[in-house]
Chains A and B, each alone.
Chain A
Amino acid sequence: MAGLTLKHIVKRYGNAEPTLKGIDLDIRDGEFLVLVGPSGCGKSTLLRTIAGLESITEGELYIGDKLVNDVHPKDRDIAMVFQSYALYPHMTIRRNMAFGLEVRKMPKEEIDKLVAEASSMLGLDDFLDKLPKQLSGGQRQRVAMGRAIVRRPKVFLFDEPLSNLDAALRTQMRVEIRRLHRKLKTTIIYVTHDQVEAMTLADRIAVLSGRDKENGTKNAGYLQQVGTPLELFLTPKNMFVAGFIGSPAMNFIQSSIVINRDKAQVKIDDKNCIEINPAIASKLQNNQKVTLGIRPQDVLLAEDGREANLTVTVDVIETLGWESHVHFKLGDHPFLAVLEAQKVAGYKEGQTVGLHIPSSAIHLFDTETGEAIAHGSQFEAVSEDAAKKAGIEPKVEEVAE
């Protein structure tokens, strides 16, 4: 087992704009790190660079204490699980798993023992003498993991391993991967574009930025923030992370700051003002333009004595069962809230509704740079309910078996 250190990793193909623009990252020994970002952000490239399948243009990559920039993939002691499984189609499952050990000239008895161990761990005992094409998608995925496990590598690399599976199987495999990590305690670097996968699996998440409409690839390939899932959710460093982490995505509203003698407010328009903690006001100036961020899960109905500080009209309601996604209109802008289904069941299109946004729930971003100025939760106790409602599924219970 080993940690990894990435020092200013740059990857450029030919003379094009670099795909990775100076990634600095420390991955701890035994950590489950998820690399997440929209497609085209370079997360798979970064993983392939760590694997040694792509060369490093600039920067240094250490596995443990060893500089591995010029070390061949086979000598890096890593194992990789590919998105497409990449099983050898002409070999049985047993040989697929044993291949990496055979080329390392391990004695046959030892290979058999390791393959047997891995196959029983993954429930593949009945398939060992079959060919990959005789297996279902989920089973193939497990074989791909088995092939990595038998090698007992220092680091596991997973490249979007679940994206080819259907939703139910994906949830099941997610739990299995988490369980696997608990058992093996090996460093895992896991690439995904699915933020739910990232939130549920990771010890820490590293968010990479992708291309955007205005700037093309100019802002792509930068590391935006590294932190625990809750850190990223509650205190995103910028609008990119705030918008990417959390489902449904955060609402962004152009606003300005009004500071009076006795209170500070975020003003959306004449009718809608949200009071903010005076402690935050010290970071702001009167009339400063900001982007206000509100997570849909933090929105409350103005009832039970809660004052309405946002007046909106109902547009569309999507009922999911216990909760509903209510698409409101705030002036001309869409505004999404996650609310208890029963409470909004009677709402009609066009109806005016008063909402309450607690001052602890607001996020303020610099409109020009997109950097976070302040998060309401930093100044008040965080509502745990909000995090739960935010779609952060609880991790698999870490109990001994």
Chain B
Amino acid sequence: MAKQEWVEDSVGLNKRDRWIKQIVYNFILIVVCILVLYPVLWVVQMALTPNEMAGLGGGFSFENMSLSNFEYVMGHTNQEGQNLFLHQLWNSIIVSAITTVIGVLLACTAAYGFARLNFIGRETGLQAFLVTQMFPGVVMMIPLYIILGKLGLTDNVYGLVLVYSVSALPFCVWNLKGYFDTIPKELEEAAIVDGASRLKIFTTVVLPLARPAIAITALFSFMTAWNEFILAATFMNNEINYTLPVALKQYVGAQSVQYGYFAAGAILVSIPIMALFFALQKHLVGGLTAGSVKG
């Protein structure tokens, strides 16, 4: 008998206790899922309710369900008859894509330098990057506005590209540097002895191994640029130059809120981000350096 008790203790819990544990865990997970998903479902049902009926109080029913909100948002034109949604979608794509490309390119090279090279100001540089992250974006709004004004880039998507790429850079550099630090130095030394140049080592050895970190960094840059509202709203004056978040804001006016249009717009805006996330998912894997050095 004494032996039996010992066996149970060593396993931890008996069968009944394990059942209770499972139920408690699952209950907690279900509650968390509801908390997370409820707002999303709410937006979806608002988007599917015709705009006149949609409101905070609900009004959704399956009989009324329609895609009219989506049609309106996507077909909205300005006075010159230009389709605003398509222009704004294009602006968002251009801004986010170029921001990502420039950001990742600069961050990769900078982070590699910080991770591997010894130079004066290395520590200070890294810390300076960190310090810039402590200021909220709003603080920089006025100086940025003046700078963009002088460069003639206000009300211009490339002005936004410039601002977004530099403001995302510190995080990207830190993130990538952290990953580069984990890549064994011997791999690069082996490549040096093999006769490869720094650039060759960077492109053929380091970058392929840093794929997960690059994917995360790219996703972060893209999402930051795609979702950014305050700066875009400040720098952009002409409707045709808006990015999607700014365009969405139009539906929330001072007098009235077009809940149906707003919800439909919000869903349309989030689709590309979800698509990108799924596309990059396969790169977000660990263990890429397995087999390189004996761990």
Are B196 and A88 in contact (CB-based, < 8 A)? no
**Contact mask A87-105 → B, CB, 8 Å, 1/0?**
1111000000001100110
Which residues from chain B contact A164 at a C-beta distance below 8 Å? 294
Bound: A100/B294 CA distance, A = 21
- Measured between alpha carbons, how far is A84 from B190 in the docked complex, in Å? 11
In A41-89, which residues have CB < 8 Å from any B CB?
51-53, 73-74, 78-80, 82-89
Are B196 and A99 closer than 8 Å at their CB atoms?
Answer: yes
Cβ contact within 8 Å between B288 and A89: yes
Task: Provide the residues of chain A in CB contact with B193, threshold 8 Å.
Answer: 51-53, 73-74, 78-80, 100
Contact B289 A89 (CB under 8 A): yes
- Residues A99 and B291 in contact, CB atoms below 8 Å apart: no
Most buried by A among B193, B200, B208, B293: B193
Does the CB pair B195–A103 fall under 8 Å? yes
Contact segment of B44-52, B63-71, B170-178, B181-189: B181-189
A90: B residues at CB distance < 8 A: 208-209, 288
Whether A84 contacts B194 by the Cβ 8 Å rule is no
* B192 CB-CB contact with A under 8 Å: yes
- One of A52, A85, A88 near B294 (C-beta < 8 A): A85
How far is A79 from B194 in the complex, measured between Cα atoms in Å?
7
**Cβ of A137 under 8 Å from chain B:** yes
Whether, in the assembled complex, B94 has its beta carbon less than 8 Å from a beta carbon of chain A, the answer is: no
| Smallest CB separation, B185 vs chain A (Å) | 9
Counting CB contacts under 8 A, is A151 at the interface? yes
Name the B residues within 8 Å of A135 (CB-CB): 291
Q: Is A147 an interface position by the 8 A CB rule?
A: yes
Beyond A82-B189, A84-B184, whether A140 also contacts B196 by CB under 8 A is: no
In the assembled complex, A302 has its CB within 8 A of some CB on chain B: no
The interface residues of chain B lying within 8 Å CB-to-CB of A83 are 294
Convert A103-142 into 0s and 1s, putting 1 for each residue whose CB lies closer than 8 angstroms to a CB of B: 1100000000000000000000000000111110100100
The answer to whether B293 and A84 touch across the interface, beta carbons within 8 angstroms, is yes
Q: Is the Cβ of A86 less than 8 Å from the Cβ of B195? A: no
A164→B91 CA distance, assembly (Å): 56
B93 at the interface (CB under 8 A from A): no
Known: A84-B184, A90-B208. A132 touches B194 (CB 8 A): no
A63 → chain B closest CB, angstroms = 13
For the complex, what is the distance from the CA of A104 to the CA of B200, rounded to whole Å?
A: 12
Write out the residue numbers on chain B whose beta carbons fall within 8 Å of the beta carbon of A79.
193-194
| Separation of A78 and B292 alpha carbons in the complex (Å) | 21
Q: Which residues of A contact B195 (CB under 8 A)?
A: 74, 100, 103-104
Closest to A76 in B: B193
Cα separation A135 to B209 with both chains bound (whole Å): 19
Docked-complex contact B192 and A88, CB < 8 angstroms: no
Q: Are B291 and A84 in touch, CB under 8 angstroms?
A: no
A227 to nearest B CB, angstroms?
A: 29
Complex Cα gap A104–B191 (Å): 12
Map CB proximity to A onto B69-103 as digits: 1 under 8 Å, 0 otherwise.
00000000000000000000000000000000000
Contact indicator B191/A140 (Cβ below 8 Å): no
A53-B189, A103-B200, A133-B290 known; A86+B194 contact, CB < 8 A: no
Residue count of chain A within 8 Å CB distance of chain B: 31
Closest residue on chain A to residue B183 by CB atoms: A89
Shortest Cβ gap from B204 to chain A (Å): 8
A82 B190 Cβ-Cβ under 8 A: yes
Closest Cβ–Cβ distance, residue A148 to chain B (whole Å): 9
In the complex, what residues of A have CB within 8 A of residue B294's CB?
Answer: 83-85, 137, 140, 164
B205 within 8 A of A: yes
Binary interface encoding of chain B residues 251-295 relative to chain A, with 1 for a CB under 8 A from any of its CBs, else 0: 000000000000000000000000000000000000011111110
A164 to B295, CA, bound (A): 10
For A104, what are the chain B residues with a Cβ–Cβ distance below 8 Å?
Answer: 195
Q: Is the CB of B209 within 8 A of A80?
A: no
Given contacts A88-B205, A90-B209, contact A73 B291 (CB under 8 A): no
Minimum C-beta distance from A62 to chain B (A): 19
Say which residue of B196, B200, B209, B292 sits within 8 Å of A85 (CB atoms).
B292
Do B293 and A100 touch (CB < 8 A)? no
**B189 and A88 contact, CB distance less than 8 A:** no
Tell whether, in the assembled complex, residue B289 and residue A84 are in contact, meaning their CB atoms are under 8 Å apart.
no
Which residues of chain B are within 8 angstroms of A137 by Cβ–Cβ distance? Answer: 294
- Cβ 8 A contact of A89, one of B196, B197, B290: B290
A46 CB to closest chain B CB, in angstroms? Answer: 15
Partner of A132, one of B191, B192, B292: B292
Q: Are B290's CB and A86's CB within 8 A?
A: no
Whether A84 touches B288, Cβ cut-off 8 Å, given contacts A73-B192, A79-B193, is no
- What's the Cα separation between A140 and B209 when bound, in Å? 19
Do B186 and A88 touch (CB < 8 A)?
no
Q: State the A residues within 8 Å of B (CB).
A: 51-53, 73-74, 78-80, 82-90, 99-100, 103-104, 131-135, 137, 140, 147, 151, 164
Provide 29 A-B residue pairs closer than 8 Å at the C-beta atoms, listed in order of the A residue.
A52-B192, A53-B192, A73-B192, A74-B196, A74-B197, A80-B190, A82-B186, A84-B294, A85-B293, A86-B292, A87-B292, A87-B293, A88-B187, A88-B292, A89-B209, A89-B288, A89-B289, A99-B196, A100-B193, A103-B194, A131-B291, A133-B290, A133-B291, A135-B291, A137-B294, A140-B291, A140-B294, A151-B194, A164-B294
10 tightest A-B CB contacts, nearest first: A133-B291, A84-B293, A100-B194, A132-B291, A89-B292, A74-B195, A86-B186, A86-B190, A133-B290, A164-B294
Known: A83-B294, A88-B191, A99-B194. 10 other contacts (CB 8 A): A73-B192, A74-B193, A82-B186, A84-B292, A85-B292, A85-B293, A85-B294, A99-B191, A100-B194, A103-B194
The residues of B with any CB-CB pair to A shorter than 8 Å are 184, 186-187, 189-197, 200, 204-205, 208-209, 288-294
